[in-house]
Each structure stands twice: as structure tokens, then as C-alpha cells.
Amino acid sequence: MDWQAKVKIQLKENLLDPQGQAVGESLAALGYENVKETRVGRYIELKLEDVESQSQAEEQLEEMCERLLANPVIEDFRFQVEELS
């Protein structure tokens, strides 16, 4: 079975997010002063082929996030896995 993975990676909550701040300030400069708490992260989509079950797909994805996709020291990650028909 094949699976579609959607991964969101963000800086840990307590860390300063300069990129998020810069985007927030740019939005305010464009007149959107009601925008607060802007946080910028990465969004990754990928396909996992030939994996027997959802739990195995999630296990593989967890491992890939910890080893490569996210930096566990400063980032948190969340993901969804959906079976591809």
C-alpha cells in the first residue's frame, strides 16, 4: 500500500521566531494591524510506497522527521498519513 504524508514543522513554542516576526511586521506595514503571533515553519508532502499498514507508515515518518526532516533540538513536528487508493 502507498501513503500520502503531510508534515508540519515549526520552531518550538518558547523559541524566538525572527522570520515569523518579520512577516508579522510586513503584514502590519501593509495595513493588517490585527495580525498577531505569526509563526513561519516548513510544510513537507511526500509519498511512502509499499508500506503494509498505517502504523508502519507513521513509524517510518516519525523516524524520518527525527533523523532528517526536523531538527529535534529547536523544532516540533506533526504529521498526517492517508492511504492512497
Pick the binder of its own copies from 64, 70, 79, 81 (CB under 8 A): 64
x/- track of binding to its own copies for residues 4-33 (CB under 8 A):
----xxx---------x--xx-xx--x-x-
CA distance 19 to 12: 14
Q: Please say which residue, 68 or 73, places its beta carbon nearer to its own copies.
A: 68
Determine, following the binding rule CB under 8 A, whether residue 69 of this chain makes contact with its own copies: yes
Give me the least distance between CB of 73 and its own copies, in Å please: 18
What are φ and ψ of residue 18, in 5° steps? -60, -35
DSSP bridge pairs for 7: 44, 79
Cα–Cα distance measured from residue 41 to residue 54, given in angstroms and rounded to the nearest whole number: 25
CA distances from 63 to 2, 33, 69, 70 (A): 17, 40, 9, 10
Binding site for its own copies (CB under 8 A): 8-10, 20, 23-24, 26-27, 30, 32, 34-51, 60, 64, 67-69
